[in-house]
Amino acid sequence: MTSGGFEPVEVPSGAHVVVGMSGGVDSSVTAYLLKEQGCRVSGLFMVNWTEDEEGYCTAAQDFQDARSVAEELDIPLHRVDFSVEYRERVFAQFLADYAAGKTPNPDMLCNREIKFQPFRDYAQRLGADFVATGHYARIAMAADGPVLLQAADSNKDQTYFLAAVDRAQFRDVLFPLGELTKPEVRAIATRAGLPVHRKKDSTGICFIGEREFRDFLSTYLKPNPGDIVDDSGHRIGRHQGLMYYTLGQRRGLGIGGTRGGREAPWYVVAKDPEHNRLIVAQDAAHPLLMSGEIDTAPFHWIRRPDPLPEQVQARIRHRQALQACHAEPLAGGCVRVHFDAPQRAAVAGQYAVLYAGEECVGCGEIESARPLG
C-alpha cells in the first residue's frame, strides 16, 4: 500500500502493455522495465508534427532511435500519425491563446488531447491491457478510482503537466519511472545496453525545435509593434509585439542604457494591451510582478477532496517548489488561490496546479492575478 492509504496498480504477469516510445531515455527504460517485469510489451511512436521544411523537428531521428531500442528489446514498434489531431486540438489553441495575449502551455494540452486520448484509444485497438509512458509521476488506486501522485524524485516530478488529464484517462495507465530518479534511469539504460543511454533530454516545444521562437510565431501571427515604457510611463524603446514577451522576461528586450538611468537589467513587469505597451522595470521583484492571489478558469478536478482542506499546496510552473495556499471555490466552477507568500510572474494561460499532500488533485488555467503594485 502506498502512503495515503492508496493501493498500487496491480499488473498481472503477461499483461500486454503498449508503451509510448519517443526515442528518448525515459520511454526506453520504461519499456525495458516492463519487459523485465514479465509484461508483453509493444512500442508506439507518435508523430505529432509533420510541417518542418527546414529540419528543426527531430521526429525522424527520434523514430530511428525508438526503432533501435525496440530491436534491442525484441519488441514490436508501431508508428502512428496524430499530426491532424495535434494541429486541431493543441496547435490551434496555442495560436489562439497567443493572439489573445496569453502565454499558453501546449504540453498540458498535448497530454490531455493526444497522449491520453488518441494514443490510449489506438493502444487499446492493439489489444493493450495497459498503456505506459516515461513520465515521472505515480498512479495509485483509491476506492473510487485512480489517483495521480507526485514522483519520488521531486526534481523530475511531471504531475504539473498531467494535471489537465481527465481522471478516467488514468485508468489502466502505468508510470514505471515514478519511483526512480533520473540518474537511476540513466544507469539502468547503461546496464541494459540501450543505444540511447547517453541521449540528451529533449527541451522546449516539439513543433518549434531549436529555431528562434519569435521567428516561428511571426509566420502564423502578424506582429504588432508598440512602445516599451518604464513603470513611470516613460518611453524607453519599442517592442515587436506583446505576444513575444512574457512576465518576468529579462533577455531579448532590446533596451540599452537610458539617459540618467542606472546600470541594471530590465524585466517585463506588465503588459498593457489596450495601448499596446510593454511595461518594464529594473526590479526582479517589482510589485507589478508579484501576486498574492490568482483566479482560474473553471477548475479541472482529477479528484476533488471532500471536504477541501483549509491548507493545500500549489505550483504555477513546472519544477517550482510547492507553495502553501488555500483554494476558494468561486461561481462557475472557478477557483481563487490565496498564497501564503507572493508569487512571481503568474501568467495568464499557464496553469495553477493544486496538491493535497502527495496527491495532485487538479488544475485551472490562470485567468488573472492580483499584483501587489
Which residue is catalytic, options 39, 57, 110, 363? 110
List phi, psi (to 5°) of 8. Answer: -70, 160
Q: Is residue 39 annotated as a catalytic residue, yes or no? A: no
* Residues facing residue 174 across a β-bridge: 132
Bridge-partner residues for 270, per DSSP?
279
- The C-alpha atoms of residue 184 and residue 214 are separated, in whole angstroms, by 37
Candidates 57, 206, 325, 360; catalytic one: 206
Annotated catalytic residue 110:
yes
Instruction: Give me the DSSP letters along 234-285.
Output: -EEEEES-GGG--TT--TT------TT--S---EEEEEETTTTEEEEES-TT
- Around Cβ 280, how many Cβ atoms within 10 Å? 26
Q: Residue 154 in contact with residue 309, Cβ under 8 Å?
A: no
Report the alpha-carbon distance of residue 84 to residue 93 in Å, rounded: 13
Helices (H), the chain: 25-36, 59-73, 83-86, 92-99, 106-110, 118-125, 159-162, 182-191, 213-218
Q: What's the grid cell of residue 369?
A: 492575478
147, 355 in Cβ contact below 8 A?
no
CB 43 within 8 A of CB 78: yes
Looking at the DSSP bridge assignments, the partners of residue 293 are: 338, 370
Q: Nearest to residue 33, comparing CAs of 193, 140, 176?
A: 176
Q: Known catalytic residues?
A: 110, 206
